[in-house]
Amino acid sequence: MRNLLLLLVSFSSLSIFSFEFSAMTYNAQNLFDTLDDPKKNDKAYLPIELKKSEKHINSCQYIRVKSWKDECLYLDWNQDTKNAKLLNLATEILKYNDSGPDILALQEVENLNILTQLFKLLEPYGYKDLILIEGKDRRGIDTAFITKFKIQDSKLHYISFTGKNENKDTRPILEITLNINDKKIKIYNVHFPSGFYDVSMRLDSLNKLKDLLKSHQYPSIALGDFNINSKEDKKFDIYKSEETHWIVSHLYGCKNCKGTHYYGYDKSWSFLDAIFLSKDRGIRYIPDSINVHSTLTNSYSDTGRPIRFNPIEKDGVSDHLPIVAKFEFD
């Protein structure tokens, strides 16, 4: 009997200390509702009946990229199209672990309205909370979280740039605080300036993230769209230089992963999306859990390239692939 009790205690202790949880970051690529928000640059993502006015047509004329101008003029972002996008996105999220990750970080979400619609699709699978705080992005896209844990606190952190970019703005870093297995943890969701902008803006953004990490001693995860392409990463060794403070997902694991985004113009893969884990703070990756979440419906079977959402065929999801990982506390 005594041996049985010792065995039960041993198993109980093991279950406490081996508690694991998962996270996914997914750039949803233009997750918009169908409503015209005057504070957002959402004119491409409206039903076609709202695009027939002279005012709308004129507003599209300044767009230089032909494909973007065509979207502004002719894309019929109606309820059916929007719902198909939501369903495809939710389906891909739930394919991971059969019920989705415990923590979902999203980028390119228009507002709380569309996030709530996605949450309602995911809620039956154990999701309990969501957060989106409006930032100052010129396009009106924000970062957001949907989680299976209650969010204890949330805030935005704005990024300041140096030198010639000091007057420029970008999407802020979204921070949430969670209590997981009686441990307080900080999670940061990022969407740094795109490759259109100078690399120094991404370096300034990384410095801001490091400052946030240094401001406390809690276990921390930073994840999202860092927008660091393979060319500049190779030239400046950006991800490697972050290893003084973080364990970077694709440098630690994901050994057979090509990347999360494919640039067709030069046929190159990049880890635009990544997960950072704080070093020496009582948390670690589960071995072999880091992966690019690629399925038959979010990527092409022959090349692995992401299948972006097609509003005509109603298939695909995004031009990014999500990256996932599991964690446990020491």
What is the reported pLDDT for 167?
86
pLDDT higher at 255 or 207: 207
Write down the mean pLDDT value for the chain.
Answer: 93
Q: What is the mean pLDDT of residues 255-279?
A: 96
The per-residue pLDDT for range 103-144, each reduced to its tens digit, is 999 999 999 999 999 999 999 999 999 999 998 887 889 999
Q: Which residues of 6-44 are buried (b: 16+ CB within 10 A; e: fewer)?
A: eeeeeeeeeeeeeeebbbbbbbbbbbbbbbebeebebbb
Asked if residue 148 belongs to a domain, the reply is yes
Q: What is the mean pLDDT of residues 238-266?
A: 96
Asked if residues 172 and 135 have their Cβ atoms less than 8 Å apart, the reply is: yes
Query: Tokens 């491409």, residue?
Result: 44
Residue 3 is assigned to a structural domain of this protein: no
Q: Is residue 67 part of a domain?
A: no
Q: Domain span at residue 33?
A: 21-39+80-329
User: Does residue 120 belong to any structural domain of this protein?
Assistant: yes
* 14 in a structural domain: no
- Band (pLDDT 50/70/90 cuts) for residue 15 is very low
Are 88 and 309 in contact by the 8 Å Cβ rule? The answer is yes
Q: Where are the beta strands (DSSP E) in the chain?
A: 20-31, 103-109, 129-131, 142-147, 151-157, 173-180, 183-191, 220-225, 246-248, 261-263, 268-270, 273-278, 283-285, 291-292, 323-329
Can you tell me the mean pLDDT for 183-210?
96
Structural domain contains residue 280? yes
Task: Give the pLDDT band (50/70/90) at residue 39.
Answer: confident
So what's the pLDDT on residue 300? Answer: 96
Q: What is the pTM of this model?
A: 0.93
The Cβ of residue 286 has, within 10 Å, a number of other Cβ atoms equal to 15
Query: Is residue 69, in this structure, part of any structural domain at all?
Result: no
Domain tally, the chain: 1
CATH number at residue 182: 3.60.10.10
Q: What is the pLDDT of residue 3?
A: 55
Pairing of strands 20-31, 103-109: parallel
